[in-house]
Structure 1
Amino acid sequence: MKQNKYDDSEFFEKYSQLPRSLGGLDAAGEWSTFRGLLPELRDQRVLDLGCGFGWHCRYVRERQARSVIGVEISENMLERAKAMTVDPQIEYRHLAIEDIDFAEEEFDVVISSLALHYVECFDTICRKVYHCLAPGGTFVFSVEHPIFTALAAQDWCYSPDGEKVHWPVDNYHKEGLRQSNFLEKNVVKYHRSVATQVNALIDSGFRLTRLSELQPSQEMLDNNPAWQEEFRRPMFLLISAVKS
């Protein structure tokens, strides 16, 4: 299933008002951790899977990447990305992540931010990314943490007075489709365990170099006290891997 909620005008309008949509990378709490997983970008050929508004594409060019291709299924997203970009070395392509078919060793770095949990066949994407990466190339991505995606409700258990008592985890090893509610719309996500994701990378030939479950920093807490909840359960999983 290739999902494209962002070309629903009502959904896109609500998404466009989110802090990370308005403020870019600095408004994304996981950005500092994601940035820390990136390799040296100077003169690198970069692919961004699910590029959205193009924030990451523009960032890697600011770091002197040689070229960037951002792929995105949503025409609304691409229209916004193009309007915000003035750089001939950034190319945006209207393409589902599942449909990528790049040449062998075409890129030095592949990144993806909070997009791969919308893709059903993660192992297939790993193999495609491995194919299009040069030897020694880096794959860095973030997804919603499996503890967060295990139950479709993606919400706390509350006490009678509304206190957040605990985060429920159930059917963790029952992987597959979850229909959750995001911005008042039904959105399909795919739950897979940490082990499944790590083993898919290893089976594709990658060597893992770093894994983060995003423990909040003091700076994050100072900017937004709500991040305190991330000490109770992780929301994000970030992985960096290298093509052996």
Structure 2
Amino acid sequence: MKQNIYDNPVFFKEYTNLRKTGVTYNDFVEQPALKSVMPSLDNKTVLDLGCGTGQFAMYCIQNGASKVLGLDISRNMIDQAIKENNHEKIEYICMPIEDLELNNLKFDIIVSSLAIHYIKDYSNLVAKISQFLNRDGEFIFSIEHPIVTARKDMNNWVKDHEGNRLYWALDHYQEEGIREQHWYIDGVIKYHRTISTIINTLIDNGLVLGKMIEPQSITEGLEKMPKLHNEERRPSFMVIKAYKV
């Protein structure tokens, strides 16, 4: 069964309350990095995989996209997207990313924000994405950094007796597969892959690597969330841009 943590009422409440603060890793690290590698969106068609509440879909329209298709497994997310980020040029579909079939539709840009590390069959997904892209189309996505997902218990900071963070522990890096953690609820499943697997799978499916970023916080984030200085010690995210040739 495909994981849908966002329709768990406890998780959805806690997650949406966090995002509404505007003081998160997403706001100061991941989203600025993702947007920094976006091309011109003028008259582009966009597929947003794991669209959540539609904020990025609306960003694309506001920046000139001609059409956005947003896809998410969570009914809660899609309902909120329709409520908060509805637009005649945006279509939202409640469906697992893995089940996507597009009946020969193609897109100029396919984007995914922090969703792909929840997908078990990464290779099959990338194969589909390659098929869905127009020639010269771009696949841009963010994931949790493999340094973060590597250790099996995903409890990586080693601290002293006063709780100060001493260093980041890296282990089990080459052992790809399921990682389970508590994030508001027990049993949140992610999939660890090495950097070489992530990149080579793109190449094997006809995509060319354009850029890779291990982002740091923007200045505002360092002021509002001082703990983001720890991003200098280890990156939380990776942003990758690839092209269809």
Paired letter, 1:201: L
CA RMSD for the aligned pairs? 1.7
- Alpha-carbon distance between aligned partners in 2 of 1:194 and 1:217, rounded to the nearest angstrom: 24
The reply on whether 1:91 has 2:91 as its aligned counterpart is yes
Aligned sequence identity (%) = 37
The answer to whether the aligner puts 1:54 opposite 2:54 as a matched pair is yes
Measure, in 2, the Cα distance between the counterparts of 1:116 and 1:21.
23
Flag structure 2 segments of 5+ consecutive residues without an equivalent.
Answer: none
Contact 1:41 1:64 in 2 (8 A): yes
Query: In structure 1, how many angstroms separate the alpha carbons of the residues matched to 2:28 and 2:95?
Result: 24
* Residues 1:207 and 1:172: Cα distance change in structure 2 (over 3 Å): same
Q: What is the CA-CA distance between 1:105 and the residue it aligns to?
A: 5.5
> How many Å separate the matches in 1 of 2:20 and 2:198?
27
**Partner SS for 1:160:** coil
Q: What is aligned with 1:228?
A: 229
What is the deviation of 1:23?
A: 3.2
Matched ranges for 1:132-143 at <5 A:
132-143=132-143
1:179 partner amino acid: E
**Conserved? CA contact 2:10–2:184, under 8 Å:** no
Deviation at 1:160, TM superposition (A): 1.5
Give me the whole-angstrom Cα distance separating, in 2, the residues matched to 1:228 and 1:104. Answer: 45
Shift of 1:29: 2.5
Aligned residues between the structures: 243
Q: In the TM superposition, what is the alpha-carbon distance from 1:219 to its structure 2 partner?
A: 4.1
The offset of 1:103, in angstroms, is 3.7
- Counterpart CA distance in 2 for 1:220 and 1:24 is 8
- Structure 1 outlier segments of 4+, above 3 Å: 21-26, 216-220
What is the CA–CA distance in structure 1 between the aligned matches of 2:209 and 2:234, rounded to whole Å? 23
Q: Is the 8 A contact 1:216 1:230 kept in 2?
A: yes
- What displacement does 1:104 show? 3.9
Cα offset for 1:22?
Answer: 4.5
1:56-115 deviation digits (Å, cap 9, x = unpaired): 100000011000000000001111111002311100001101111124461110000000
Change (3 A) 1:229 1:8: same
Return closer, same or farther for 1:24/1:63 CA change in 2, 3 Å cut-off: farther
Partner of 2:38: 38
Higher deviation after alignment, 30-39 or 47-56 = 30-39
Aligned residue for 2:131?
Answer: 131
Ranges in structure 1 where 5+ consecutive residues have no aligned partner: none
TM-score, normalised via structure 2 length? 0.94
Instruction: Render the CA deviation track for 1:103-139: whole Å, top value 9, x for unaligned.
Output: 4461110000000000011111111111011000000
Deviations 1:25-56 (A, max 9, x none): 98352211110111110101100000001111
State the secondary structure of the residue aligned to 1:59: helix
Amino acid at match of 1:23: G
CA contact (8 A) 1:11 1:185 kept: no
Pairwise mapping of residues 9-158 of structure 1 onto structure 2 (< 5 A)?
9-18=9-18, 20-23=19-22, 27-104=27-104, 106-151=106-151, 152-158=153-159
